[in-house]
Structure 1
Amino acid sequence: MKLLKAVFLIIAVFIAVDVHAQSSAELKRRRDKLSEELEQLNKDYQETANNKKTTLKQLSILKAQINLREEKINVINSEVRNLDNQISESNNTVHSLQSQLDQLKKEYAAMVLFAYRNQSAYNKLMFLFASKDFNQAYKRLKYLQQFGTYRERQAGYIQGTQKELHVKITELDKTKQEKSTLLQDQEKEKATLGKEKNNQVKVVSDLSEHQGQLKQQQREVLAKIAKTNREIAATIRREIEEAKRKADAEAKEAARIAAAKAKAENRPAPVVAAKPVVRSESSNLNATPEAAKLSNDFLGNRGRLPWPVANGAVTQGFGMYTSPEGIKINNPGIDIRTNPGSAVRAVFDGTVVGVVDVSGTYLVMIRHGEYFTAYANLRSVSVAKGQKVTTKQILGVVATDPSTGETEAHFEVYKVSDAVNPKTWLAPN
């Protein structure tokens, strides 16, 4: 029974370690990717800094660096927590294996002592001849044979447990060393983050010398954001109203057909409600079986949707933030820094419900049942309103800001008319 418990314990530990290994591997992959992105941003920043002239592009790059650096520190924190869990589990396993080993050695010592005291052939013969009958003698003979086999098996268990204990202690030392390395890396990242924030303050201070130009550019950016938000809201509102109109028309047509059928069959006409049925916006958007299925499929792929660009890093996340210039801005989506000329792709099947020119760049909106996705800051588009699109179909090409040199795609997700955080819908990058 004790041996069986030990086996189950070892199996459980292996399963737990495998789960942690998968999680740790994913975190390490993310940390390495963030390091690559930060290295590229650092190269871009050095190129602008070598121009001996502070630009808005420097400020934009610094903002992206700070966001990625903070994300990398969070990833390292998660890795450290994982390692702490592994260390705790390994310590428990080592203690359990040590207890098992001590118990096995104690039992084996007792068997050796018993065997020593009864090692003479005379004692064994007396043990057999003292049997009441032949059956008991046979059983005693088998017992003596099995006792020897059991001793050999117990010796094997001891050797196996000692080996397993050695492996776990080695793994524990390796995990502790890995944690120490990560903590050192974390301190370096925090120090670099502090320098980047100081550089950001300096760049903003330098730009204040050109305050008029900066404010004008900022006003243009804010105006573009506001116009984009208005266009998105208007498009969603039109789709909701159109869906309601179609649902009402279908309900009236169904009532008319029912009344005609009742008249043809000499039955009383169905009673029509005095007031029209009030449906929610979600119900109107999901009024058809096709729309309802598309909504369910879109929801079912939450956390697995492809990114709207093949390569990129988030420079500004979802929600309220304060810009380096001290302006509070609510971002209903995410901004993704990518390579110049990158294609923008649909993240799911749907229908294009809007293609709008917003101050020189394009906004594309796609409906997925009761969900909407918006793709902004496109320099060109390759789809038209009313067109059905499929997952990863190219919608257009992202624009590059001439004043900053930055190439950023803006992406938003809506459930009916409520903006939701796109990062929770996209697959891990």
Structure 2
Amino acid sequence: MKLQKLVFTLIFFSFALTASAQTANELKRKKEAIQREIEQLQKNLNKTASGKKLTLQQINTINTQIRLRQDKIGTINSEIKNLDNQISKNTNTVHTLQGQLGDLKKEYAGMIRFAQRNRNSYDKMMFIFAAKDFNQAYKRIKYLQQFSQYRKKQAGYIENTQQDLNGKIKVLDQTLREKSNLLKDQEREKERLGKDKNEQSVALNKLSKQEKQFKQDINTRKKQQAQIDRAIAAAIQRAIEEARRKAAEEARIAAAKAAAEARAAEAKAKAENRPIPKAPTVSTKEKTTGELLTATPEAARLSAGFENNRGRLPWPVATGSITERYGSHKVDLASYTNDGVDITTNDGATVRAVFAGKVLTVQYIQGRGVVIIIHGEYITVYQNLRNVSVTTGSNVDTKQAIGVVANTGDDAILKFQIRRGQSTLNPEAWISK
């Protein structure tokens, strides 16, 4: 029973440590990804730090850097918590193995004492011949054989348990060192966070001195974006109207066919002197936008596939950080709305379709490319492209290159939207984390 308990304990802790290792690796990858985003944003800030004029991009970059730094500290805290759990489990395992090792050694010592008392062949023979009958003598012979084998196994168990104990102690020491390093990393990140917040404070002070110019810049941006949004809405509306026209034409053809079939059935009934059958009714209910955009099997399949990949869609660029989120924003006294997200990426970054679909339109507005791709009921918009590598009407696959991001000021920023019909959606809920 003791050996079974030992084996069960080792198997249990092996599974527990495997799960902990998986969690630790996930946290490590997340922390490294956050650090890469922070470093890229810092490069962008370093390029623009010498400029006397404060831009909205700089403020967004600083705010995003603070948010990412806080996320990194939170990830480090999770790593520390995970290590604390590992330390607790390993400590319990060490205590369990120490106790079981002691029990095994006591049991083995008892067997050695028994073997010492019965070490000569004469004693063994007397033990066998003292049996009442042949069956008992045979059982005593088997017992002596099994006892010898068990003693050897017991010695092996002791050796293996000692090795496991030494291994767990090494793991425990390593985990304690990892925790110490993480605590140091946490302190460094808190110090850097403090510097980022000081930089944010300096930027806001600078903003107050440039308030008039800053408001003018935001108003200019709002007007430019409004023009682009109107063009996007118009392109989507044209697609909806085209779908409605096709649906109306199909309904007209279906009604004409039904009427012709009804007349033929009526004529046949009259000729055969039968009651005239009731003409079939054709639905005149107007279709919703979703029904119009998913009228064909291909469109319905694309729409369902897009929806099923919510939270798992690839990013429209290989690397980058969301430096402006979806929704309403207020900077000092100026406010504006973003119908998508702004992703700051590397200079010359390739823009990719996040899902298979058909290019609804390619436009150049204010010198920048805008690509709109339709995926059944869902629509993705890629704005601020330096050049475009697809054409209107072409089919695209997931992650297919569609263009290159243009530089806005000093940063390469892709403006990305997801819509359901004309309604805007938060892209962060759809792309992978």
The one-letter code matched in structure 1 to 2:384 is N
Secondary structure of 1:407's match? strand
The one-letter code matched in structure 2 to 1:271 is P
Shift of 1:408: 0.5
1:317 aligns with 2:322: no
Q: What's the counterpart of residue 154 of structure 1?
A: 154
The one-letter code matched in structure 1 to 2:90 is S
Match for residue 400 of structure 2 among 393, 397, 403: 393
Q: CA RMSD in A?
A: 3.2
Secondary structure of 1:204's match? helix
Determine the C-alpha separation between the residues in 2 that align with 1:250 and 1:95.
78
Q: What's the counterpart of residue 293 of structure 1?
A: 301
Q: TM-score, normalised by structure 1?
A: 0.84
Secondary structure of 1:383's match? coil
Alignment of 1:56-67 (within 5 A): 56=55, 58-67=58-67
1:120 to 1:330, Cα distance in 2 relative to 1, 3 A:
farther
Secondary structure of 1:351's match? strand
Is the radius of gyration larger for structure 1 or structure 2? 2
1:83 aligns with 2:88: no
Single out whichever of 193-202 and 253-262 deviates more from structure 2.
Answer: 253-262
Secondary structure of 1:272's match? coil
Q: TM-score, normalised by structure 2?
A: 0.84
1:85 to 1:320, Cα distance in 2 relative to 1, 3 A:
farther
1:104 to 1:61, Cα distance in 2 relative to 1, 3 A:
same
Count of matched residue pairs = 423
1:217 aligns with 2:217: yes
**CA contact 1:54–1:203 (8 Å) conserved in 2:** no
1:142 to 1:410, Cα distance in 2 relative to 1, 3 A:
same
Q: What's the counterpart of residue 137 of structure 1?
A: 137
Secondary structure of 2:91's match? helix
Determine the C-alpha separation between the residues in 2 that align with 1:225 and 1:132.
104
Determine the C-alpha separation between the residues in 2 that align with 1:269 and 1:302.
47
Shift of 1:201: 2.2
**CA contact 2:384–2:406 (8 Å) conserved in 1:** yes
The one-letter code matched in structure 2 to 1:190 is K
Alignment deviations for residues 83-125 of structure 1 (CA, whole Å, 9 cap, x no partner): 2333333334334433433443343344334434444544422
1:17 to 1:138, Cα distance in 2 relative to 1, 3 A:
same
Shift of 1:236: 4.2
Single out whichever of 277-286 and 302-311 deviates more from structure 2.
Answer: 277-286
1:233 to 1:133, Cα distance in 2 relative to 1, 3 A:
farther
Single out whichever of 379-388 and 163-172 deviates more from structure 2.
Answer: 379-388
Determine the C-alpha separation between the residues in 2 that align with 1:84 and 1:418.
46
1:411 aligns with 2:410: no
1:123 to 1:306, Cα distance in 2 relative to 1, 3 A:
same
The one-letter code matched in structure 2 to 1:314 is I
**CA contact 1:67–1:316 (8 Å) conserved in 2:** no
Determine the C-alpha separation between the residues in 2 that align with 1:9 and 1:287.
60
Q: What's the counterpart of residue 345 of structure 1?
A: 352
Determine the C-alpha separation between the residues in 2 that align with 1:353 and 1:307.
20
Secondary structure of 2:402's match? strand
Match for residue 281 of structure 2 among 272, 280, 293: 272
Secondary structure of 2:411's match? coil
**CA contact 1:307–1:426 (8 Å) conserved in 2:** yes
1:233 to 1:177, Cα distance in 2 relative to 1, 3 A:
farther
Q: What's the counterpart of residue 53 of structure 1?
A: 52
Match for residue 335 of structure 1 among 329, 342, 346: 342
Moved over 6 A (4+): none
Secondary structure of 2:386's match? strand
Determine the C-alpha separation between the residues in 2 that align with 1:306 and 1:4.
49
- Structure 1 unmatched ranges of 5 or more: none
Q: What's the counterpart of residue 375 of structure 2?
A: 368
1:382 aligns with 2:377: no
1:425 aligns with 2:425: no
Alignment deviations for residues 134-188 of structure 1 (CA, whole Å, 9 cap, x no partner): 3432232121111111111112112212211221222122223212322222222
Secondary structure of 2:387's match? strand
Secondary structure of 1:308's match? coil
1:209 to 1:249, Cα distance in 2 relative to 1, 3 A:
same
Single out whichever of 52-61 and 310-319 deviates more from structure 2.
Answer: 52-61
Single out whichever of 145-154 and 414-423 deviates more from structure 2.
Answer: 414-423
Determine the C-alpha separation between the residues in 1 that align with 2:100 and 2:256.
81
Determine the C-alpha separation between the residues in 1 that align with 2:126 and 2:414.
92
